[in-house]
Amino acid sequence: MILSVHVWVGGCLAAAVAGAGAAWFTIAVQEPGTTHALCGPDLGRDDVVAARSQAVAVVEVVENTRYREDGGSAYLTTRVKTLEALKGEFGAVLDVTQGVKNGGAPGRYATEDPDRYAVLEPGHKYVIAVQSGSTTGATGAAGSEAWAWYAEPAEGGLAGEREHWQKAIATPPETAASSACEDIDVPAG
């Protein structure tokens, strides 16, 4: 009887140690989630776009003038005619550059977020927001043109876009329009 109690207790201890080890292993080897870095302002909010942009305008695209790939990135430079400057100064005609996906061909360019960063196509009207560069229309060295970091079709017409963007410009964002990066952990599954 004593031997069976020792065997029974020993078996329970072994099972408990094995169970604890399996639980630790299961917890330690969970499916890893992913970590994403969110950098830059929320371009899904027009008040943030207006606050963080050097200049905003309604433009009509004249022509795509240059496509280039450099260091794993691709850029499209487009000549636009300013229909109305909504924030900042714009020349009557200027070149703007935007990032596009590599491997583009005329009429076949794409961006990562076509809803808030549409590819500027000749003959179409857009609201663009410029982050940096010259918006005067003066020609300079390649790379000195305006950097359009936001482009959306001007579906509201000139008067509708003017009204909408004047409100966005006049309304500072409730939360800070920060460009800092923060890591977001996304659990697996």
Topology (CATH level 3) of domain 46-170: OB fold (Dihydrolipoamide Acetyltransferase, E2P) (2.40.50)
pLDDT band of 75, cuts 50, 70, 90: very high
Q: In the predicted model, is pLDDT for residue 3 greater than 60? A: no
Higher pLDDT among residues 184 and 98, named by residue = 98
Interatomic CA distance for residues 1 and 156, integer angstroms:
90
What are the sequence ranges of the domains in the chain? 1-35, 46-170
pTM for this one? 0.69
Q: What phi, psi does 164 have (nearest 5°)?
A: -60, -50
Query: When comparing pLDDT for 122 and 109, which is higher?
Result: 122
Amino acid 29: pLDDT? 44
CA atoms within a 13 Å half-sphere pointing along the CA-CB vector of 137: 13
Extract the tokens encoding 105. Answer: 């061909």
Tens of pLDDT, residue by residue over 18-65, are: 554 544 444 444 445 444 444 555 666 888 898 999 999 999 999 999
